[in-house]
Amino acid sequence: MNEQRAARSVEAVFREDRGRLLALLAARFGDLDLAEETASEAIEAALQRWPVDGVPDKPLAWLLTTARRKAIDRIRRDRAYAERLAILQVESDRAAPVVPAEAGFDDIPDERLQLFFTCCHPALSAEAQTALTLRFLAGLTTPEVARAFLVPTATMAQRIVRAKRKIRSARIPFRVPGPDELPARLPGVLRVVYLVFTEGYAASSGTDLLRPDLADEAIRLARILHRLLPREREVTGLLALLLLTDARRAARIDAAGGQVLLEDQDRALWDVDRIAEGQRLVVPALTGPGVGPYAVQAAIAALHDEATAFETTDWPQIVALYDVLLQIEPSPLVALNRAVALAMRDGPEAGLVVLDELTGADELRGYHLLPAARADLLRRLGRRTEAAAAYRAALDLVGNDPERATLARRLRELTDP
């Protein structure tokens, strides 16, 4: 029983506080490899000692102390390694922004924030940023990260190794950007968290529509960022957006795992607690000058969640918010979403005009939702032959099986006698 309790305690601490442990070690020694290896050794020591000595009152502190000792022992054994770490630490200290003497406690970020910005450094590829964030801050194992990217474990292990090597060779510091750098660097961190959630919300391929593990990790990461940067309105907006969107999770699939579209969802299955929390966060995210794109998207999600039925959705307000979003962050994807909302407000012909203008956009090439949206509007207009062709085009591009089944069903409805 003691062994089982100790194992559960280690698992709970490691799952919840692994990012904090790694961040503390990386900040202290300036090396992700050393942090990861000594954290694993500390976990092994806990599995051996806690069943005998009992679970300590402060498990994370115990793990940190043990890992630090093991790291110091390793550095003492390897002089060359110690010299390299010393250089990295000195450079990191020089690069660290000076905290004013009058700064309050909330102004001093904890080490996880440093790790966020290290994993999402612009010197790394977007793929590497996402992989490192999932590995070191979300606490996913390398096989779990590999499954998220749908690649073999060995391939992902090599990607993570190369990314860590890049951090070391480029001497990327473990630090939070200063006030002058933060506006330029924060969007990259938020983008990684949003991409993780997007993959969890609608898997790019595979047999399942949802990846709840990724959606949950993205929300957990957004909560950490919100605790560490409570005054950053776009951080608040991102958390609100994820909560308000994820609130519909239970209604998005049927008993067989098939896709249920928004218009057909049982809204009684929506998570009212998540909706209420998201709505509370939308207000401060939108309050003040210079509203950001995540805050606007959160406001759109809130309008969807407020509607008691699909028919009562406030489409005029949603279109107006998409107009604002196009001014803040113009992109073909935003224009696509606005076109769908426009079709709901003004009719399918109005939306189809906009969609036809987007067919040549490079950003949407290979994106199945563009022909799928065109097919739906053509179907509503009674242009069955054109709609069937658009459904076939979407089927050629769609990744996951539930969405493919939905498109195939719509195509059959048009073509079957």
Q: How far apart are CA 293 and CA 295, in angstroms?
A: 5
Helix pair angle (369-380, 384-397), 10° resolution = 160
Q: Which of 274, 272, 269, 330 is nearest to 298 (CA)?
A: 274
Task: pLDDT band for 382, please (50, 70, 90 cuts).
Answer: very high
Cβ-Cβ contacts under 8 Å for 109 (sequence gap 6 or more): 176, 228, 229
What's the pLDDT tens digit per position in 245-260? 999 999 999 999 999 9
pLDDT at 105: 27
pLDDT at 87: 53
What's the pLDDT tens digit per position in 139-193? 778 887 887 776 888 999 999 999 988 888 888 877 778 877 888 888 988 998 9
Q: How far is CA 243 from CA 188, 194, 254, 277, 371, in A?
A: 20, 12, 21, 7, 28
Q: How far apart are CA 221 and CA 231, in angstroms?
A: 16
- Record the tokens describing residue 5, joined without a space: 């309790």
pLDDT at 142: 85
pLDDT at 98: 38
pLDDT at 140: 76
Helix pair angle (233-246, 182-201), 10° resolution = 0
Cβ-Cβ contacts under 8 Å for 233 (sequence gap 6 or more): 284, 285, 286, 287, 288, 291, 292, 295
- Record the tokens describing residue 116, joined without a space: 């966020």
Highest mean pLDDT among 21-30, 144-153, 216-225 belongs to 216-225
Task: pLDDT band for 238, please (50, 70, 90 cuts).
Answer: very high
What's the pLDDT tens digit per position in 70-109? 988 888 877 665 665 555 454 445 444 433 333 332 333 4
Give the pLDDT mean for 58-64: 86
pLDDT higher than threshold 90 for residue 54: no
Cβ-Cβ contacts under 8 Å for 111 (sequence gap 6 or more): 20, 23, 24, 26, 27, 174
What's the pLDDT tens digit per position in 403-415? 999 999 999 998 8
Which is more confidently placed, 4 or 342? 342
Q: Which of 66, 60, 62 is nearest to 15 (CA)?
A: 60
pLDDT at 359: 86
Highest mean pLDDT among 12-21, 61-70, 339-348 belongs to 339-348
Q: Which of 246, 264, 256 is nearest to 402 (CA)?
A: 256
What's the pLDDT tens digit per position in 264-278? 999 999 999 999 999
Which one of 3.30.360.10, 4.10.520.10, 3.40.50.880, 1.10.10.10 gives the CATH number of domain 121-172? 1.10.10.10
Which is more confidently placed, 239 or 116? 239
What's the pLDDT tens digit per position in 293-337? 999 999 999 999 999 999 999 999 999 999 999 999 999 999 999
Which is more confidently placed, 99 or 230? 230
pLDDT at 311: 92
- As a whole number, the mean pLDDT across the chain is 85
Give the pLDDT mean for 207-236: 90
Cβ-Cβ contacts under 8 Å for 96 (sequence gap 6 or more): 173, 175
Topology, domain 344-416 = 1.25.40
What's the pLDDT tens digit per position in 128-142? 888 888 888 877 788
For 121, the 3-state DSSP assignment is coil
Give the pLDDT mean for 205-227: 88
Could you tell me where the DSSP H helices lie in 30-55? 32-53
Every domain of the chain and the residues it spans = 1-73, 121-172, 185-287+294-313, 344-416
pLDDT at 141: 80
Token pair 């195939």 in the structure block, residue? 408
pLDDT at 81: 58
Q: Over pLDDT 70: what percentage of the chain?
A: 89
Give Dmax (Cα) for the chain.
79
Long-range contacts (CB closer than 8 Å, 24 or more residues apart) made by 279-286: 279/240, 279/244, 279/305, 279/306, 281/236, 281/237, 281/239, 281/240, 281/243, 282/237, 282/240, 282/244, 284/233, 284/236, 285/233, 285/234, 285/236, 285/237, 285/240, 286/233, 286/237
Task: pLDDT band for 342, please (50, 70, 90 cuts).
Answer: very high
Give the pLDDT mean for 109-120: 78
Q: How far apart are CA 192 and CA 195, in angstroms?
A: 5
Q: Tell me the β-bridge partners of 253.
A: 259
Q: Contact 402/201 with Cβ under 8 angstroms? A: no
Q: How far apart are CA 110 and CA 117, in angstroms?
A: 12
Q: How far is CA 242 from CA 198, 217, 356, in A?
A: 9, 11, 30
Q: Has this prediction a pTM greater than 0.95?
A: no
pLDDT at 103: 32
